[in-house]
Amino acid sequence: MEKVIENVQKKFSLSEVTSAHGYFITCEKKDAVSLVTYLKNVEGFKHLVLITAVDWIKDNKFQLTYLLNNPQMKKELGVRTYIERSVWPEESVMDSAHHLWPAAKTYQRELHEMFGIDFPDSPEVNEPLILEYWDDIPPYRKDFDTKQYSEDTYFPREGRETDDPATYMKEMLYPFEGEKNV
Amino acid sequence: MFDYGEKNRELFPETKSDGTVDIDLSSGKFTKLWHGPNHPGITGNMSLELTLLGDEIMESKTHVGYLHRGFEKLMERRRFINNFPLVCRVCVPEPDFNEYCYAAALEELAGIEVPEKAQWIRTLILEMARLQSYLMWIGGQAGSFGMGMVGQWTLWARDRVLQMFEELTGGRIYHIFILPGGVRNNLTEGFKGRMLETLADVNSILDDVERVLFNNAVFKKRAVGIAVIHPEWVDEYGITGPNARAAGIPKDVRKDNPYVKYGELDFEPVTGTDSDIYTRARVRFDDCRMTTGLIRQILDRIPEKGEFKAKMPSMLHWKIPAGETYKKAECTRGEYGYYIVTDGSGYPARVNVRGPSYTHAVTLAEKMLVNTNLADVAGTLVSLHTYPPEVER
Amino acid sequence: MAKMNYGKRKADLERRSVTGPDGEVFEVDPMKNYFCEAPPKVYKPSPLTPLEKFYNWCRAESIYILGFGTGCGAIEMRPLMSPMYDAYRYGVHWRPTPRQSTVFVIGGYASVKTIKRIIRSYEQMPGPKYVLAVCSCTINGGMYWDSYNTINRLDHYIPVDVYVTGCMPRPEALLDSVETLKKRIKEGRAEGQNKYAENFEWYKANQKQIIKDWDMPDYNW
Amino acid sequence: MEFKYINILYAAITIFVTINYGLLLQGIIGKIYARVGKRVGIRIYQPWINIIRQWVTRSSIHHGIMYYLGPVFRFTGGGGILIFLPVIYGAPLFSSFVGTGDLLLVLYFMFIGTLGMALGGGEAGHPYSAIAVTRGLSQVTAAEVPLVLAIFSLTIQYGTMDIMKIVEAQQGSVLNWTLFTNPLATAAAMLAFLGSMMRSPFDVVLAPQEIPIGPPTEYQSQFLAMLMTNRTIFPVAKTVFYVTLFFGGIPLYDSFLLTFAVFFLKTFLVYMWSVFVGVSFPRFRVEQSIRFFLKWPLLIGAAAVIAAQIRY
C-alpha cells in the first residue's frame, strides 16, 4: 500500500496522507478524477466502493471522498478532495466519474440532490433520485435544520418533550456518576 | 421441436446504431407499466418504471425514495451512543450488520480494544442474522416464481431463529445488542443447547427445500439461463457478495478482510459459475447451509469465561478524536460499509452508509432487466436480493 | 432546487391530443377524473339494526389487508402469513390491489413520497375501509420525529381506526390489533370512511400542505 | 327431451347446491394448502363470509357496460356447463336440461366464461388486466387443443355426442369407465384439466408476483362477489364434466348418503389432482405453458384419436 502511495506521489501532488484508520490521501480538485482514473487503470483499484461528501461548513468547503477497493490487494484507499462550498441556491460543481464506473452515476445523482453538488456530464444527474419536488436547501447540508423543518411541516404531537440525554440522565438517573465523569 | 429460433426483429421498432431501441411512446407499440410500490413482486417499497414491447422489457428505471428517512442527517444531530437505535433501522431484515459496522468504526476511531469473548459473541450474532435473512430470502425467491409453500416452511425456521435472538437480546427484529466496546449481554444459560436444536430444525427444513425447490423441473426451467450477470460487470457496477460469487469471483469480506473472529473459523466462500438466477439461488442456499456450520463452530469455540464488554468512558460525554474511517462487513447481499467522519466533538460529522443494494437495485437492475420477460422481473429482483431502505436510507 | 429536472414529468400531466396507433386523434387530459368526479359521500348504516349487525359481523370476520408494505412494519407481516402466527385463522387475507382490500396496514413511518401513494391507495379502496396504524412512527413520528421527510401524525392525513404501539410491535400485537379492530367494527364504531368524507376539506388541506407536487385528482375513486 | 317449466327451478337448485358445495370445497382445499405449509389454515366457513362481505360493500364504481357483463358471462359459462350435464345421473333434479344440448355445447360454455372475463377485464382498462387477458386466452386456447382431441376420441369410441349416452355406456362396472376403455384420451384430458384450473404451474393468468392479480384487478365490491361466486361454480362444473366423461359419472344410488359420498369422492379426487400439482410446482411462464400443452398432451391426444379410430 505504501508503494502505491509512493507511485501516486510521483505523479500527483498530494497535500495530505493519513493511514491511522485506513489509507486516505488528499489531492487537489483538478487532479481528482485523473488520480482516480490512474488508480483504477494502473494500480488496480477497480472496485468503486462509494462516493460521498462531507460538509465542512466552518471552512466553507465540501470534502468529496472517492473510496476505492483493490480486489487483488484487498485494501481500500480513500481519495479526498476539497471543493468550494457554494451558498444555496448556487451549486458547487465537480467533474463526473461516471465514465469510469457506470455505478458512479447513482452516487452523483444522490450528491446532487442531497448536497447540491452538480456533476455536469453525468447522465440523469438532474433527475431526482430520492426526494420528490424538494424546494428547500439540500437536506444534507449542515445549514439545513431538519428539526425545525419537521416541526413547521408535520404537525408534531403535543406532549412530546425532548430532553438532552446528558443533562436529563445526570439529574434524574445517575446523579453521582454523571458528576464524576464530566 | 417448437424452437422458433431468433426472434422476428422485423416487428420490432428501429434499433439505433448502439443497439438500443428508440422508444417512442406515441407510436402505440409500447406499454408503460408502473411496477410498484404497491406490488407483491417488488422487493419492498420501491417501484420500477417499465417500458414494454409485448412481454419484453425495453427500458427499466428504478425509483427509490419511498423509505427515505434521512438517517445520515439525523445521525449528525445525535450523540454517538444515541445513534445505536437508529443504525439498526437502516436495514430491517438484518440490523446487526449495521450495528457491527457502526460500533467497529467508532472503536477504530476511539482506539478501543474489544475483549475476546465479545468478539466471539459478535460473530455469533452476525451469523445468526445472516441465517435468518437467508431463510426469509429463500421463501421470497420461491414465492417470486409462485411457490408459496417453501416460504411457509422457511419462515417457520426463521421464526425459530428469531426466538433465539429474543432469548439473547430481548428483541425479535431490532436487537441493539452490539455496542461499542463489546456486546450488551452475556450468553444465557443453556443457550448453546437450544441453538443446536434450532439449527437441527433449520437443517431439516433446508433439506426439504433442496428436494422441493432446487430439484424442481419447473423451477429449473424458470431460473436457468435467466438474468445473467456477466463477470466483467462485477467491477464495473460494484457488485459484491453472493451476486459476485455466483459469477465466479470469490468476493467475500469474511475471507478477504477477516473481521471479528472470522480469521479463526474454517470455511471457504461458496462460488458458482453460471451467474443466472438458479446459480445465485444455489450460492445463497449453500451459503445458508455453510452459515449453520459456522454457527456450530462458533458455539464450540466460544469461551466460557471472560469479559463481554470493555471498560468504556461515560457514554453520554463520549468524545471521539477527529478522523475518518471505513468499516465493512459481509452481509447477505454483499459488502456493507460505514464511512464515518468525526471532528472531535460528541457528534459524528458525517456518516455514510454503503449498502450493497445501492448499485444492485439501481444501476445493475436497470441494465439487467432490459430484454427480459415481464414474468421474470420479480425473480430477477429477488435473486439480486435488493432491499430498498439501504439504497435511500 | 435550481437545476433539478422536475419539468419532464410535469409535461406528461398536461392536456394534449394524442394520435392513436390507427391514426385516430383524441384529446387526453391526465388530470381529469374520467370515472367519477363526485366527492366522497357519507354512507348511512342500514336502518334495520339486526341486518346491519350481521353485515358488520361479516365485515369484521373477513378482513382483506392491502399488501402494501409502506415501512419497516411490513417485515412483521410475513410472519403473520406463516405457521408460527398464522393470521388466516382469524379470517385475515392479503390482497395485492387496493380495489379488493378493506384494511390498510400502514407499516411504520411514511415518507412524503409514500404518503402520496398511501392516500391514492386509501381513496381507491371501497368502503367501509379501515386503517391499522402500526409502529410508533405513525403516532408521533417515533424515532424519526425530527426527520425532514417523514410525517409525524398519520391521523392528520387519513382517519385511523386502531393504533399499534411499539418499534417494532410483535406479531402478537398485530394479531391483537386485528381483534380490536373486529370488536370496533362489530360495535359499529369503525366509520373511518364517513369520517374522511365529513372532514374532507381538512384532510385535503393537510395533505396538500406536505405534498408539493399534487399531480393527482382531488379525489380518485 | 321435451321442455318442462319445472326444469328451470331444478336448474336453479342445481346451481345453488353447486355454489355451496364449491364453497365447502374451497374451504377444504384452503385447509389442505395450509396444512402442507404447516399452518392451521382458514376456517371452513370462511368462503361464505368472504362472499357476503363483498356483497355488503358500501361504495363501488364501474367502468362501463362490459364491466357489468363480464361476471355475467362467466356465470353463464359455469352455470351452462352444469345445467346441460347430468350432475347426478338418473336424478331428474340434478340433470335438468340434459339432452337438449350435447358435448359441443358444453365445450362452448367452457370457453365463454374465459371470454367474458377477458371482456370485463379489458373494459376495466388496467394494464395488468390487459396483459392477463392475453396470457389467459392464449393459454386456455392451447390447453383446449388436447381436450378437444380427447373428446374427439370419445365421440369416435362411443359413436355419439350425446352426454347421456356416454354416461350410460360407462355404467355397470368400474372397468366400463372411459379411464379404462380409453386411457389415452383420459390422460390427454387430465393434462388439459390442469391448464384450466388456474393453479400453478399454469396460473399465469393470476400470477400475483407478476401481474397482480390478473383480469379482476379493477373488480371490487358486488362485482367481485359475483366473480368469487363464479370461481366456486367453475371448478365444480369442470370436475363434474370430467367425472361424467371419464370416470363413470355419478349414478343415483338408493341411499342419499351413498350418492353424495360417491359424488364427493369423485369430484374431490379429480379436483385434488390439480391441487396436488399446484402445491408441488412453481409457475410456468406463459410461452412455456403453451409449449407444454402443445407437446406431450397434444401428442397423447392425437394418439388417442388414432387409437380410437383403429379400435372402434
pLDDT tens-digit profile of D231-283? 888 888 889 888 888 888 888 888 888 888 888 888 899 988 888 888 888 88
Between C108 and B18, the higher pLDDT residue: C108
Give the pLDDT confidence score for residue C179 in this predicted structure.
Answer: 92
Q: Are C40 and C219 in contact (CB under 8 A)?
A: yes
CA distance C13 to chain B (A): 15
Q: Are B91 and B391 in contact (CB under 8 A)?
A: no
Q: Are A129 and A110 in contact (CB under 8 A)?
A: yes
Name every chain D residue with its beta carbon within 8 A of the beta carbon of C130. Answer: none
State the pLDDT confidence band at B2, using cuts at 50, 70 and 90.
Answer: very low
Burial D250-282, CB ≥16 within 10 A → b, else e: bbbeeeeeebeebbeebbeebbbbbbebbbebb
Q: Testing the interface with A: which of C1, C117, C151 to mutate, by most A Cβ within 10 A? A: C1
Say yes or no to pLDDT of C201 above 50: yes
What are the distances in angstroms from CA C35 to CA B156, C38, C42, C116? Answer: 45, 9, 19, 20
Chain D, residues 267-296, CB within 8 A of chain B, namely: 279-286, 288, 291, 294-295
CA distance A120 to chain B (A): 19
The closest of C42, A166, D211 to B146, measured between CA atoms, is D211
Say yes or no to pLDDT of B21 above 80: no
Give the pLDDT confidence score for residue A180 in this predicted structure.
Answer: 45
Say yes or no to pLDDT of D188 above 70: yes
Residue at grid coordinates 365463454? D112
Q: Are B59 and B23 in contact (CB under 8 A)?
A: yes
Contact (CB<8Å) A102/B325: no
Of residues C74, C85, C147, nearest to B74 (C-beta): C147
State the pLDDT confidence band at A181, using cuts at 50, 70 and 90.
Answer: very low
Q: Which of A117-126, C113-122, D121-130 has the highest mean pLDDT?
A: C113-122
The closest of B344, B350, B320 to B180, measured between CA atoms, is B320
Residue A65 three-state SS: strand
Contact (CB<8Å) B85/C79: no
In what helix (H) or strand (E) does residue C133 lie, and over which residues does it extend? strand C130-134
State the pLDDT confidence band at A160, using cuts at 50, 70 and 90.
Answer: low
Contact (CB<8Å) C89/D208: no
User: Which CATH code fits C64-210?
Assistant: 3.40.50.12280
Q: Testing the interface with C: which of A122, A132, A142 to mutate, by most C Cβ within 10 A? A: A132
Contact (CB<8Å) A177/B314: yes
Q: Testing the interface with B: which of C13, C77, C101, C113 to mutate, by most B Cβ within 10 A? A: C113
The closest of B21, B17, B1, B14 to B371, measured between CA atoms, is B21
The vertex-B77 CA angle with B71 and B82, nearest 5°, equals: 80
In what helix (H) or strand (E) does residue D110 lie, and over which residues does it extend? helix D103-124
Say yes or no to pLDDT of B145 above 60: yes
Contact (CB<8Å) C140/A160: yes
Q: Are D182 and D169 in contact (CB under 8 A)?
A: no
Of residues A21, A101, A131, nearest to B238 (C-beta): A101
Average pLDDT over residues D214-243: 87
Say yes or no to pLDDT of B12 above 70: no
Of residues D37, D46, D56, nearest to C55 (C-beta): D56
C221 at interface of D, judged by CB pairs closer than 8 A: yes
Q: What is the pTM of this model?
A: 0.89
Question: Residue D41: what residue type?
Answer: G
State the pLDDT confidence band at B221, using cuts at 50, 70 and 90.
Answer: confident
Give the pLDDT confidence score for residue C209 in this predicted structure.
Answer: 86
Cα dihedral C86, C87, C91, C93 sign: negative
HEC profile for chain B? CCCCCCCCHHHCCCECCCCCECCCHHHCCCEEEEECCCCCCCCCCCEEEEEEECCEEEEEEEECCCCCCCHHHHHHCCCCHHHHHHHCCCCCCCCHHHHHHHHHHHHHHHCCCCCHHHHHHHHHHHHHHHHHHHHHHHHHHHHHCCCHHHHHHHHHHHHHHHHHHHHHHCCCCCCCCEECCEECCCCCCCHHHHHHHHHHHHHHHHHHHHHHHHCCHHHHHHHCCCCCCCCCHHHHCCCCCHHHHHCCCCCCHHHHCCCCCHHHCCCCCCCCCCCCHHHHHHHHHHHHHHHHHHHHHHHHHCCCCCCCECCCCCHHHCCCCCEEEEEEEEECCEEEEEEEEECCCCCEEEEEEECCHHHHHHHHHHHHCCCCEHHHHHHHHHHHCCCCHHHHC
Give the pLDDT confidence score for residue C180 in this predicted structure.
Answer: 92
Listing DSSP states for D139-154 in one string gives: HHHHHHHHHHHHHHHH
Contact (CB<8Å) D207/B374: no
Residues of D at the C interface, defined by Cβ within 8 angstroms: 30, 34, 37-43, 46, 49-50, 52-53, 56-61, 63, 208, 212-213, 216-221, 224
Name every chain C residue with its beta carbon within 8 A of the beta carbon of B44. Answer: 69, 74
Q: Which three cell numbers stand for residue B365?
A: 437492475
Of residues A20, A46, A170, nearest to B235 (C-beta): A46
A61 at interface of B, judged by CB pairs closer than 8 A: no
Please give the DSSP secondary-structure letter assigned to residue D16.
Answer: H
Residues of C at the B interface, defined by Cβ within 8 angstroms: 18-21, 66-72, 74-76, 78-79, 81-85, 96-98, 109, 111, 113-114, 117, 121, 143-144, 146-150, 167-168, 170
pLDDT tens per residue across span D112-135: 888 888 888 888 878 888 888 888
B53 at interface of D, judged by CB pairs closer than 8 A: no
State the pLDDT confidence band at A11, using cuts at 50, 70 and 90.
Answer: confident
**Domain spans of chain B, in order of start:** 9-63, 75-392
Say yes or no to pLDDT of A106 above 70: yes
Please state, rounded to an integer, the average pLDDT across all residues of chain B.
85
Q: Are D154 and D166 in contact (CB under 8 A)?
A: yes
For A2-144, which CATH superfamily applies?
Answer: NADH:ubiquinone oxidoreductase Nqo5 subunit (3.30.460.80)
Of residues C96, C114, C143, nearest to B89 (C-beta): C143
Say yes or no to pLDDT of A150 above 50: yes
Burial D26-36, CB ≥16 within 10 A → b, else e: bbbbbbebbeb
Average pLDDT over residues D32-60: 88
Please give the DSSP secondary-structure letter assigned to residue A87.
Answer: P
The pairing of strands A92-93 and A75-84 is unpaired
B67 at interface of C, judged by CB pairs closer than 8 A: yes
Q: Which three cell numbers stand for residue A12?
A: 500527483
Say yes or no to pLDDT of D175 above 70: yes
State the distance between the two ends of chain B, measured CA to CA, in whole angstroms: 50
Give the pLDDT confidence score for residue B197 in this predicted structure.
Answer: 92
Q: How far is CA A112 from the centre of its chain?
A: 11
Q: Are B150 and B98 in contact (CB under 8 A)?
A: no
Contact (CB<8Å) A50/B339: yes
Q: Are D87 and D240 in contact (CB under 8 A)?
A: yes
Q: Are C63 and C77 in contact (CB under 8 A)?
A: no
Residue D265 three-state SS: helix
Considering only alpha carbons, which residue of chain A is nearest residue C140?
Answer: A157
Give the pLDDT confidence score for residue C5 in this predicted structure.
Answer: 60
Contact (CB<8Å) A21/B65: no
Strands (E), D245-301: none
Q: List the single range of B8-12, B358-362, C114-118, D94-98 with lowest mean pLDDT.
A: B8-12
Please state, rounded to an integer, the average pLDDT across all residues of chain C.
83
* Four-point Cα dihedral A119, A121, A126, A127, nearest 10: -120
Contact (CB<8Å) B2/D295: yes
Give the pLDDT confidence score for residue B14 in this predicted structure.
Answer: 62
Give the pLDDT confidence score for residue A182 in this predicted structure.
Answer: 39
Q: How many CB pairs under 8 A join A and B?
A: 107
Q: How far apart are CA D223 and CA D70, in angstroms?
A: 9
The closest of D237, D22, D10 to D111, measured between CA atoms, is D237
Average pLDDT over residues C187-212: 87
CA distance B268 to chain D (A): 31
Say yes or no to pLDDT of A169 above 70: no
The vertex-A153 CA angle with A152 and A157, nearest 5°, equals: 80
Q: Which residues contact B82 (CB under 8 A, 6 or more apart)?
A: A165
Give the pLDDT confidence score for residue B203 in this predicted structure.
Answer: 92
Give the pLDDT confidence score for residue B200 in this predicted structure.
Answer: 92
Considering only alpha carbons, which residue of chain D is nearest residue C88?
Answer: D42
Say yes or no to pLDDT of B11 above 60: no
Of residues A65, A101, A146, nearest to B339 (C-beta): A65
Question: What is the CB neighbour count within 10 angstroms for residue B168?
Answer: 22
Q: Which three cell numbers stand for residue C107?
A: 407499516
Q: Testing the interface with C: which of B39, B66, B166 to mutate, by most C Cβ within 10 A? A: B66
Say yes or no to pLDDT of B91 above 70: yes
Contact (CB<8Å) A160/C116: no
Of residues D37, D209, D280, nearest to B378 (C-beta): D209
pLDDT tens per residue across span B284-343: 999 999 999 999 999 988 888 888 887 877 777 788 888 888 988 888 888 888 999 988
Give the pLDDT confidence score for residue D1 in this predicted structure.
Answer: 57
Q: Decide: A and D in contact? Rule: 3+ Cβ pairs under 8 Å.
A: no
Q: Which residues pair with A69 in a beta bridge?
A: A47, A76
Q: Testing the interface with A: which of B73, B256, B357 to mutate, by most A Cβ within 10 A? A: B73
Say yes or no to pLDDT of C221 above 70: no
Residue A47 three-state SS: strand
pLDDT tens per residue across span B169-217: 888 888 888 888 888 888 888 888 999 999 999 999 999 899 888 888 8
Average pLDDT over residues A166-175: 61
pLDDT tens per residue across span D137-167: 888 888 889 999 998 888 888 888 888 888 8
For B75-392, which CATH superfamily applies?
Answer: Cytochrome-c3 Hydrogenase, chain B (1.10.645.10)
Say yes or no to pLDDT of B1 above 60: no
pLDDT > 90: percent of chain D:
3
Residue at grid coordinates 370485463? D120
Strands (E), chain A: 14-18, 23-27, 47-56, 61-70, 75-84, 92-93, 117-118
Give the pLDDT confidence score for residue D164 in this predicted structure.
Answer: 82
Contact (CB<8Å) B68/C111: yes
Say yes or no to pLDDT of D301 above 80: yes
Q: Which three cell numbers stand for residue B282?
A: 444455489
pLDDT > 70: percent of chain D:
99
Is-cis flag, bond preceding A89, omega within 30? Answer: yes
Residue at grid coordinates 431463510? B135
The closest of D123, D20, D148, D28 to D71, measured between CA atoms, is D123
CA distance B146 to chain A (A): 31
Q: Which residues pair with A75 in a beta bridge?
A: A70
Give the pLDDT confidence score for residue B15 in this predicted structure.
Answer: 63
